[in-house]
Amino acid sequence: MKVGIVGIGSIGGTVAKELDSGKIPGIELVALSARNRDQLETFSKTLSRPVDLGSLSTWVAGCDLVIEASGAVTVDEIVRTSISNGKDVMILSVGALIENERLMQLAEEANKRIHIPSGAIAGLDGIKAAALSEIQEIKIVNRKPPSALRGSPGAEGAPVNLDSLTKPYTLFSGTVAEGYRLFPANVNVAVAVSLAGIGVEKTKMEVVADPDISVNIHEIMLNSSIGRMHLYIEGKASDKNPRTSASTPFSVLSYLKQMVSTIRVGT
């Protein structure tokens, strides 16, 4: 399977290097795009094999799958370009889909797939199973160091100074639909949980700034007709971007491996 990646940051760059190293037999990295051309060319020199460095529109026809790792503002163009060229697409900035539900309709009409890896969390397979029964309640708590939340609308508008916090502070409590607009770069995991379960309007979410931690913590509580689920995930932040969990690119790689594997386990 031939793969092209848009974005060479903490996620896209890691995935590109791992694919270039032959990490997953059957997956070939053939193209890369990024906003900064100089950075793209510099990055490409670290790879063992040449790849197409043109724009998405120039190389999408030669790919089987396009991976978005470039931020929410690019999702619309990437999904539309991929689908119009008959290609599946993998989205990391999942929250952008709830801002533009038309993208999911376009994929359905074209009989193409939008792939969403688990990212920084676990348990989406269990949530999907529960959703086929009856979920009474589901909630995700995102607990992060203040530095990982700085700059988001929800943090900038809070009545506290993140730099002077001495104890955990709940910046938001509500639905995922409301919370995503306040923390668009921080809660893609909450959107993924919502899409696996009962939707962004019914899934509850909290965002907590905690000065006592140096990792990203995600806690999911679910009550359903087939049982209860309590997941606790403690993930290291990416060295390049505190808003991103170090596990996310490896979740992408795991998803890709499953796409070409004879045996598929879970999500």
Q: What pLDDT score does 267 carry?
A: 67
| CATH number of the CATH domain containing 152 | 3.30.360.10
**Residue pair 25/261 in contact by the 8 Å Cβ criterion:** no
Q: How many residues does the chain have?
A: 267
Q: What distance in Å separates the CA atoms of residue 84 and residue 156, rounded to the nearest whole number?
A: 38
Largest alpha-carbon pair distance within the chain? 54
Burial class (CB in 10 A: 0-12, 13-18, 19+), 218: buried
Q: What distance in Å separates the CA atoms of residue 255 and residue 88, rounded to the nearest whole number?
A: 14
Q: What pLDDT score does 239 carry?
A: 79
One domain, residues 81 and 184? no
Q: What distance in Å separates the CA atoms of residue 259 and residue 267, rounded to the nearest whole number?
A: 10
One domain, residues 82 and 135? no
Q: How many domains does the chain have?
A: 2
Distances (CA, A) of 13 to 7, 43, 46, 125, 184: 7, 8, 10, 27, 21
One domain, residues 172 and 219? yes
Q: In terms of residue numbers, what domain contains 48?
A: 2-117+248-259
Q: What pLDDT score does 199 carry?
A: 95
- Beta strand 215-224 with 135-144: parallel, antiparallel or unpaired? antiparallel
Residue 243 lies in a domain: no
Token readout for 234 is 């403690």
Q: What pLDDT score does 99 carry?
A: 82
pTM exceeds 0.75 for this model = yes
| CATH number of the CATH domain containing 61 | 3.40.50.720
Pure H helices in the chain: 12-20, 37-44, 56-59, 75-84, 95-99, 102-109, 124-131, 146-149, 153-156, 176-182, 188-196, 248-259
* 198-199-203-207 Cα dihedral, nearest 10 degrees: 140
One domain, residues 102 and 161? no
- Name the catalytic one among 218, 237, 249, 256: 218
User: Is 115 noted as a catalytic residue in this protein?
Assistant: no
Residue 196 lies in a domain: yes
Which residues is 3 bridged to in the sheet? 29, 65
pLDDT in tens, the chain (267 residues): 999 999 999 999 999 999 999 999 999 999 999 999 999 999 999 999 999 999 999 999 999 999 999 998 999 999 999 999 999 999 999 989 888 889 999 999 999 999 999 998 999 999 999 999 999 999 999 999 998 898 899 999 899 999 899 999 999 999 999 998 899 877 889 999 999 999 999 999 999 999 999 999 999 999 999 999 999 999 887 777 777 788 999 999 999 999 999 988 876
One domain, residues 221 and 255? no
Residue 241 lies in a domain: no
One domain, residues 219 and 128? yes
